[in-house]
Chain A
């Protein structure tokens, strides 16, 4: 169980956000880059759910897209079962690996082709990977997949617009399962859904994980959803991972000041009267991030070192924290 399925090392992604060439020449501007993901490393063990949590602009979706290979990394290494996703020499091995990686997107209204019937949508991966040859077998498999996610076989003849948001997300899950994957990247799979439907989808995802031994990379901004789903959690801030820990540990004893601030900001649903620290500031512009530790302008523990020097990850036990104050034992 403890074997690593996915290893990500020093992953960095830059996006070119320069003005058009002519403007740059006339105005004498340099090229500008946005560092969406900055030196991110983590590994995902077989059968676990690794969650990346962070606010908008923290780079969590960019990591997800790089892991499935939708966008190439600028630097760094992604390997799945020791097969490099970035090494051109291993392209052949990567092709066979592709079948075993699938993705579920945030918006089930945008990720299904409105002109295709559901059975065609769900059978596309089966045909693409040549998993079944004759049409009857494909039809049987599609029916099986639809019933697996709680839809009926007859739903295959319908179009996506005939379904509600939750049902569409079920179709997306059926499509992801069609190629018999081991690893599914879920990018905010329930953010577009209402809570009662969200509960259905989260339960379904956990049932499927138990049944097929799936490994999830789960991206979300919602801490309570992450707590419910994840075995391990990485907290991202401005393109860097600030803390990685087992879910139970992280939620009981958050170490990084940003993680603490994030937890504090979550509304107190049960009205327990938990005191709130006042939350300071907002995420800075990622095009021009703060020096040193990027969290220092909002951090209650920041000192001169934090303003100048980028902190390095410090591992103790199962958790890794990237913070000068933790390293030096400074606390509030």
Chain B
């Protein structure tokens, strides 16, 4: 593989609180190749959104990057000052948020919001920016963009609003888009449309996407590779096809099996007992061990390192010494 567009090494995100420091993201490492869609999947509280926020530099204080490095296109970006960060954020790395209603300003026409964003990142006149905004709206599939550009966000439906948000993200011609639950607020039929759109943009523009979601179905439709997060750590990384068909980590296995299937009905779903620990109560050793049916000696004492298997990279003691 050529040089990845984004490379994250041992990223740590911490929240200092009165009761000590909470580690929300614990030494996460992954790469995203140029034009690749990396899915980041996990249950709520797994640290997937915080990882995205840390990369684009939008961590809300008191949250902070406490360790590791983030390398974007060959340059470290985690230690830049605010001014330099701003030249990367929005232009080279863009973000799509979950709720399209709160990521648009209700008081401005969408054209003004698009033109403002384009002028911030690209050197062109207002007139050029406006025609560029129209072509962006056209690209994301908004019908009659010449007239719709002067509409307000409330005049759009949920799906159309999300298209506008995607157009905004494209304004600076980014190399990487971090999409944080981009379809969660949408109905399935609209979700299918947005997934198609993201895939097409990725193909046509050669742009990489970090797709954060809790929905394995969306990942299976969209992503080339997946990282499964559990309690702030990566449990497993691998190609989507391998992960869906040959999940290795007991958590990934349980996660896949607990999703009801549309193709066949079964009497009982596989269930993982318990729920993900709170940040204050992350157990020692492997964070998954209290819920794991295959735990053995080292699990509750020492954190597993990552092991390469035929299908994926797994952080699980079962794979210590080359296999089960």
Contacts and interface: CB of A to CB of B under 8 A. Distances in A.
A55 B187 contact: yes
A140 interface: no
Nearest to B41: A195
B261 A269 contact: yes
A170 B262 CA distance: 25
B268 interface: yes
B188 A262 contact: yes
Contacts of B221: 267-268
B66 interface: no
B2 interface: no
Interface stretch (A87-95, A117-125, A223-231): A223-231
Interface stretch (B27-35, B144-152, B172-180, B212-220): B212-220
B258 interface: yes
B271 A199 contact: yes
A224 B259 contact: yes
Contact of A203 (B188, B245, B269): B269
A267 B271 contact: no
B187 A269 contact: no
A202 B269 contact: yes
Contacts of A247: 265
Interface in A107-142: none
Interface stretch (A2-10, A21-29, A278-286, A303-311): A278-286
B254 A196 contact: yes
Contact of A269 (B189, B195, B259, B269): B259
B302 interface: no
Given A199-B272, A227-B265, A265-B189, A271 B258 contact: no
A195 B44 CA distance: 10
A283 B190 CA distance: 9
A167 B220 CA distance: 29
B157 interface: yes
Contact of B260 (A55, A224, A262, A270): A224
**Chain B, interface residues (CB within 8 Å), range:** 35 or more
A197 to B, nearest CB: 6
Interface residues of A, number: 43
A264 interface: yes
A203 B273 CA distance: 12
Interface in A247-285: 247-248, 251, 261-272, 276, 278-279, 282-283
Contacts of A55: 187-189
B191 interface: yes
Nearest to B276: A194
B244 interface: yes
Nearest to A197: B275
A228 B269 contact: yes
17 contacts: A55-B187, A167-B275, A200-B271, A223-B188, A224-B262, A228-B261, A247-B265, A262-B188, A265-B188, A267-B192, A267-B215, A267-B218, A270-B261, A271-B245, A279-B190, A282-B157, A282-B159
Give the 10 A-B residue pairs with the shortest CB-CB distance, closest first.
A267-B217, A199-B258, A194-B43, A228-B260, A265-B192, A55-B187, A199-B269, A224-B260, A199-B271, A267-B221
Given A56-B187, A225-B260, A228-B266, 16 more contacts: A55-B189, A196-B255, A196-B271, A199-B259, A203-B271, A227-B261, A227-B265, A228-B261, A228-B265, A262-B188, A270-B244, A270-B245, A271-B240, A278-B193, A282-B159, A282-B190
Interface of B: 43-44, 157-160, 187-193, 195-196, 214-218, 220-221, 240-241, 244-245, 254-255, 258-263, 265-273, 275-276
